[in-house]
Amino acid sequence: MNDLDFMQQALLGAERAKELGEVPVGAIVTYRGEIIGRGCNQPILRHDPSAHAEMMAIRQAARHLGNYRLPECELYVTLEPCIMCAGAILHSRISRVVYAAKDPKTGAAGSVINPFADCRLNHQTQLVDGVMADESSALLKVFFRERRQAEKERKKTAV
């Protein structure tokens, strides 16, 4: 499998998040070409601000390997990681992150800040962006458009 194949798997997670009423972000972790962790956004469902797709996939991968360090692993995620997820990625020693869409409001892989580029940190993670960015962006745009429309409808019926 290649980056495109793995990102398609992450997009399935994003679709799952949308079905759950969460912001549609999905992630997978691979180890030597095998998927060992999957995650989708679930902070609302779990009442857990750390239940981002990346965090869920990293937790599952760490359990799978029986180690909190994931140096030979790669993370595929449909949206640029936030600062919390960037910290977890760096602490877990993930070697490479491939993400689809940039996040101009909270992106921590170059859009707003980039701890991955800070050579003072003791681990460096390779970044690849833009893989299936159009598909991921479209999913996010539709989700937020539908959410705004539903909010308008609620306000109409409340009056």
**Distance in angstroms (rounded) separating the CA atoms of residues 40 and 26:** 4
Q: Which alpha helices (DSSP H) does 20-113 contain, by range? A: 43-46, 53-65, 83-92
Kindly give the residue spans of alpha helices, DSSP state H, lying in the chain: 3-19, 43-46, 53-65, 83-92, 133-158
∠ CA 92-15-85 to the nearest 5 degrees? 20
pLDDT tens figures, 4-44: 999 999 999 999 999 999 999 999 999 999 999 999 999 99
Reply yes or no on whether 54 is catalytic: yes
Rg (CA), the chain: 16
Instruction: Please state the pTM of the whole predicted model.
Output: 0.94
pLDDT of residue 142: 96
- Residue 91 among known ligand-binding residues: no
Contact of 57 with 65, CB cutoff 8 Å: no
Residue range 55-76: mean pLDDT, rounded:
98
Catalytic member of 54, 74, 80, 151: 54
Residue 159: band (very low, low, confident or very high) from pLDDT cuts 50, 70, 90:
low
Is 40 within any annotated ligand binding site? no
CA distances from 113 to 21, 23, 108, 116 (A): 28, 21, 5, 9
Question: According to the annotation, is 52 in a ligand binding site?
Answer: yes
Q: What is the pLDDT of residues 115-150, one digit of tens each?
A: 999 999 999 999 999 999 999 999 999 999 999 998
Domains, the chain, in order of start with CATH, read 3-158 (3.40.140.10)
